[in-house]
Structures are given as C-alpha cells and as structure tokens.
Amino acid sequence: MTQSEHKRVSDAEQARAALVSYFSRVGDELEQVRALLQLRLEQLALAYCRRHNLPREAVLVTTRVKSLASVLNKLARRGWPPFNDPTEVITDMIGARVVCWFVDDCHAMVTLVASSKHLSLDAEVENYIAQPKPTGYRAIHLLARVSYDSVQGTESAARIELAEQLCEIQIRSKLQDAWGDITHEFHYKAKGRGIEQRQHEQALAAIARRLAAEDEALMQIRNAYQKLAANSDSD
C-alpha cells in the first residue's frame, strides 16, 4: 500500500469513527431540529397558499436528516476532507424540499423564507432555475440557520442553551421535482461512482429544457384562467 493510499484509509477510518460518535451524541437532537424546520416551512407554505387563494397541496414540504451512510458516501466522494464538526463539510445534514405547482411560486417562497423571523439565511441564494446546471438541473438552494433550544449536560446538571443548526432548503416546481427524482437514480448515483457520459447528460438537459418550457406554458394558462375568472366576477 502506498503512502497516499494508507493516508486515505486512515482518513476514512477517522471520519467514520467521528461520525458514529456524532450521530450517537446528537442524532435525537437532529431529528428534533428537522421536525422544527418542517413546522416552520409548513407554516410559511400555509400562509402563502392562503394569501394567494391556493389549495394547501400547491406548496408541499418534506424534510430529512442525512443518514450516516449517506454522509460517509459524500465524504468519500470528496476525498475525506478533515473536520472538527461534520457540519463544517456537510451543509445539508438536515435538508428540506419545498415543491410548488408553479415556478413563480418558487421565487415567492424564497422571499417568504428570507423574511421569516425563525430562519436566517447563511449565504447567497443559489438559483439554478435562473442558471441551470449543465445537466439541466433546476432548483433554488438556500442555506438557513434554525434557532432552537438545545439541552446540554446530564441529569441534575442539564441546562437549556440557545443553539443554531445549518440546514439546506431546496425549492423547485413540481415538474422540476419529477425530473430530479427520476434522474437521481441513474445519473446522480452513476456520477458518484465516477461514471459520466456527456451524450446522456445532453439528452437529460434537453428534457429539462422542454419541461421548463412547459412550466412557463402552465403559468400562462393559469394566468389566462385567472383573468377569465376576474372578468366573470366583475360582470
């Protein structure tokens, strides 16, 4: 085994040990923060739907805590970067997905999230709807900090401390979400194993462009119906 191979194995073993300890220590707390993020985003989605006279299912929220296996795979792809705390290198330890019927709802939800008193944006918004990835991937990515009460200490020494957890929020349209879910299984996972095929990626990008055009068409049809409804009400 070469020196570089030995170091890679050593880095992997150290990362695994650190992550097992991390999940054992804060796993329950991560799940509680996930539930809190779910609540915060669902309340924002509810407010948006009521404000715009939309059915509740027009904006759906799902959340998850990244599994130990998923974190290990991600670190392996990155060459086992060093860390003191896993969240230094994994920004989506807790992730949320907000799926909207229409693209303009996606942009409006970004504004609503940014205005929340319970979430603070940690970095610039990555707008892959305005600037899609080469594969055609479209979504808006936000990094936000969720404030919560963290229990520190044990037994009689237990105390409450204000803490923050960095979370990733992805906002996309329903068509963009369908494209992402379908292509994740055979494209993203293959890319994670070092398999890339430019011809197939170009085909995926072409499909994504067609879906983006359909997103625009759906908004135009929606607007036309809303105009007809408004004219009918005024008669």
CATH number at residue 18: 3.30.460.10
Q: Which of 3, 204, 181 minimizes the C-alpha distance to 99?
A: 181
Residues 6+ apart with CB under 8 A from 60: 45, 98, 99
Q: Which amino acid is at 204?
A: L
Give CA–CA dist 138/19, Å, rounded: 31
Report pLDDT digits (tens) over 207-231.
999 999 999 999 999 999 988 888 8
122 Cβ contact partners less than 8 Å away, ≥ 6 residues apart: 143, 144, 145, 166
d(CA 174, CA 102) in angstroms, rounded, equals: 7
Banded pLDDT at 48 (limits 50, 70, 90): very high
The packing angle between helices 103-115 and 3-51, to 10°, is 100
Cβ atoms of 179 and 186 within 8 Å: the answer is no
pLDDT at residue 1 in the model:
65
How far apart, in Å, do the first and last CA atoms of the chain sit?
Answer: 82
Range of the domain at 103: 3-173
Whether residue 206 lies inside any domain: the answer is no
DSSP 8-state code for residue 67: P
Asked if residue 133 belongs to a domain, the reply is yes
**Predicted TM-score of the model (pTM):** 0.88
Task: Assess if residue 183 is contained within a domain.
Answer: no
Is 74 contained in some domain? yes
User: Does a structural domain hold residue 143?
Assistant: yes
User: Which pair of tokens denotes residue 193?
Assistant: 């194993």
The amino acid at 80: W
Tally the domains of the chain: 1
What are the tens digits of pLDDT across the range 121-165? 998 899 999 999 988 999 999 999 999 988 887 777 788 888 899
Query: Mean pLDDT, the chain, as a whole number?
Result: 90
Report how far residue 93's alpha carbon sits from residue 157's, in angstroms, rounded to the nearest whole number: 28
CB 65 within 8 A of CB 8: no
Residue at 178 is within a domain: no
For residue 235, name the pLDDT band (cuts at 50, 70, 90). Answer: low
Per the domain annotation, does 209 fall within a domain?
Answer: no
The answer to whether position 121 is within a domain reads: yes
Determine the Cα–Cα distance for residues 199 and 194; give it in Å rounded to an integer: 15
